[in-house]
Amino acid sequence: MGDWIIGWTTGAVADGPLPALVCLPPAGAGCRRFGSWQHPLAGTAEVFGVQLPGREDRWHEPMPDTFDQAVDTIVTALTRRLGRSRPLVLYGHSFGGLLAYEVARRTTPYALVVSGCRAPARAPGTGRRTAGSPVREDELDRLLDTDDPGLDPGQAHGLRDLELRELALEMLRKDAALSRSYTHRPEPRLRVPVHVWGADDDATVTPAELDRWAAATTGPLHRRQVPGGHHAVLRRPQQLLAHLAELLRAAAAAPAPAGLTTAATAAVSAARHTGA
């Protein structure tokens, strides 16, 4: 079985454990892309990616049966890898943002950062498609954001390659099946800052949709916009990386570093069993 948590290190020496940036990829993708983030964040954080089964080096492994099962497994794997008191910032894009939110509810991160992701109460896809039903070509183009004007020729060609599109379709089907098992429970709310990123030409996740994240936390909500389509923040992450670096430095300096705890997990588990 492959690893749920993948880390990248530059070998930088620090006085103690660096804050952890844990990244969750969008539907139909793996986490290897986040390895390139370690270099610009060297000395500030250690970058980790969450690798679900059914993609990249875990292609032939079965997916979890439910969304909750996936989140519980991620939290267990994170606890084993990072311990319980390490400063933590969670980042997720699109489908990965929803996963990151539920991981945040079971841990105590310094902050949650999401991009291209609707608020949990408005999670898309649930109940809209039956398992195994086909994804139309226009839907696939929208999900892959093939009309993004910021794509270079190599990226654009790759997104239109028939073999690569088939692989993307297969992964999207697996993640769509997982997302359909998600049930949003509004309590307990997060108690940490939530930072949401959107793109000007993203017709799916509009500024109004991003503002709905305010209901998910008792902490402050911060929204930022960039030019481009649905995946613009992830494809051109320079502004995002600068923002994450600021948060990670603040997490390291916080008097009581946030990290993985059992109290938050217990609260979510109780809400799940009572149907809150």
Domain locations in the chain as residue ranges: 5-274
Give percent of the chain above pLDDT 90: 56
| Per-residue model confidence (pLDDT) at position 55 | 86
Place 200 in a pLDDT band, splitting at 50, 70 and 90. very high
pLDDT at 238 over 80: yes
| Per-residue model confidence (pLDDT) at position 126 | 40
| Per-residue model confidence (pLDDT) at position 271 | 53
Omega cis (within 30) before 87: no
Q: How far apart are CA 100 and CA 90, in angstroms?
A: 6
Over residues 201-223, the pLDDT tens digits come to 998 899 999 999 999 999 999 99
CB environment 164-183: b (16+ within 10 A), e (fewer): ebeebbebbbbbbbbbbebe
pLDDT at 81 over 60: yes
Over residues 14-67, the pLDDT tens digits come to 556 899 999 999 988 899 999 999 999 999 999 999 999 988 888 889 999 999
Whole-structure pTM over 0.85, yes or no?
no
Q: How far apart are CA 54 and CA 39, in angstroms?
A: 27
Over residues 115-162, the pLDDT tens digits come to 999 999 988 544 344 444 444 555 555 555 555 555 555 555 555 665
| Per-residue model confidence (pLDDT) at position 143 | 59
Sign of CA dihedral 196, 201, 207, 213: negative
If one compares 262 and 199, the residue with the highest pLDDT of the two is: 199
Q: Which CATH superfamily is domain 5-274 in?
A: Alpha/Beta hydrolase fold, catalytic domain (3.40.50.1820)
Q: How far apart are CA 108 and CA 222, in angstroms?
A: 18
